[in-house]
Amino acid sequence: MNLHSESFGCSPVILDGGFGTTLEQWYQLDISGTHLWSAQAIVNHADVVIETHLAFLRAGADIITTSTYQCSYATFARAGYTTADARRIMSLSVQLASQARQIFRDEQGKIGNPIRDVRIALSLGPFGASLKPAQEFDGFYPPPFGPKAYSEPDAGNCNTFGDDAVAESESIYALAQFHFERLLVLFEDETAWNSIDCVAFETIPLTREIQAIRRAMGLLNDRIATVVPYTNRAKPWWISMVFPDGLYPETSRDGSTRMSVANIVSTAIQNPSPNYPSPSGLGINCTQVEYFPKLISEFNDKLQKYQNMKISDRDVGLRAKNDIFKPWLVLYPNGGDVYNTVARTWVQGSQNGEKHWARTLKESYAPSRIWAGVLLGGCCRTTPTHIQLLKQIVHSSIDH
């Protein structure tokens, strides 16, 4: 059974919005120039971190994400912290989210409201989020993680190895180790791991990083198996990809085109095994909402073909149709502005307003049997106001 279904039950489920940008927009914290972005607030403004979580919960979020998107040993080192500091701060992020959850539950109990089953997602950004300038929107990674580090605009930047299979394999290994070591930080803290309900790998710009994440989760499965029964410690997890201007950042091997959605979905779900598991969910984040209908249609087409192939490949009489792999669809667009990674500033984009954003997101998908359910929320430049309106629109459509 899909672990997301076990954890969340009824669809749709509402995610929170852009945590770091809400710290900036609502609470006037200056974090854009820091190495740690939203994680910097864990150190200096723990009370504001809790209050930000609470703002999203009060707006209607069923899932809140930890402020760990840019956390890695390398980013902490550049910010002047030790490895021990990095582990402590990442665990503290989970603790603050857990405190916010308990405060919210207490609030709801005091006013006689039903206690909502709030979940905590461990937020883990791509390797590119640890670079300067950030590379989650382009995927220009330095060796061994990629073919070449970003230099300057129009300076021959590239994010594919072409036909160099050896270098690509080394890159996947390096990226898998990067993600695995971050997972271990929380897994080895029993209190933190028990507080986490799911893991979110976000804004992934490269298919080889998708492969690396699946390997990292396979390594985690191996570690889980040595400690306790697998089912007691395994977490549902998703991979969400980014599509700036509606296109995936990764180019084809010859550099002539962009990677197709069909290739992306295939990379995420095909050939599963305990050491190379498929995610519980996949989808799109930090992309303008106007691009979602076309992208979702392409996701649907590929997943449907995969499921049909699996049905035809086996004796249906021996296994029930509900054994066919059905991930959750995860959708959380940005608020419409565009981030300049070099200047580290936001460029104003769509000004249609929060209600238009929420309605467009709700209307961008239709319930489908090929998905186990849908998670809806916001990414950068979406606030608790966006989430409140989204919750209202979603529930209004259910009531009717």
Is the Cβ–Cβ distance between 235 and 158 less than 8 Å? no
How many Cβ atoms are within 10 Å of 96's Cβ, its own excluded? Answer: 21
Q: Is 71 annotated as a binding residue?
A: no
Is the bond preceding 144 in cis, omega lying within 30 degrees of 0? Answer: yes
Is the Cβ–Cβ distance between 140 and 159 less than 8 Å? yes
Is the Cβ–Cβ distance between 288 and 331 less than 8 Å? no
Q: Is 379 annotated as a binding residue?
A: yes
The distance in angstroms from the start CA to the end CA of the chain is 30
Listing DSSP states for 114-154 in one string gives -----EEEEEE--GGGGSSS--TTT----TTTSS----STT
Report d(CA 279, CA 250) in Å as an integer: 20
For residue 205, which of 149, 287, 319, 144 has the smallest C-alpha distance?
287
Alpha helix stretches (DSSP H) within the chain:
3-8, 19-25, 40-44, 46-59, 73-78, 83-110, 165-187, 190-195, 207-227, 230-233, 261-269, 292-312, 354-363, 384-399
Is the Cβ–Cβ distance between 278 and 327 less than 8 Å? yes
Single-letter residue type at 379: C
For the sheet containing 198-204, what is the strand order? Answer: 13-14, 373-376, 328-332, 281-285, 237-241, 198-204, 119-124, 63-65
Q: Is 286 annotated as a binding residue?
A: yes
Report d(CA 174, CA 387) in Å as an integer: 36
Report d(CA 25, CA 384) in Å as an integer: 11
Report d(CA 373, CA 5) in Å as an integer: 8
330: phi then psi, degrees, rounded to nearest 5:
-115, 120
Burial (Cβ within 10 Å: 0-12, 13-18, ≥19) of residue 356: middle
The residue whose two tokens read 């990067």 is 178
Question: Binding site, residues?
Answer: 286, 379-380
Question: Binding site for Zn(2+), residues?
Answer: 286, 379-380
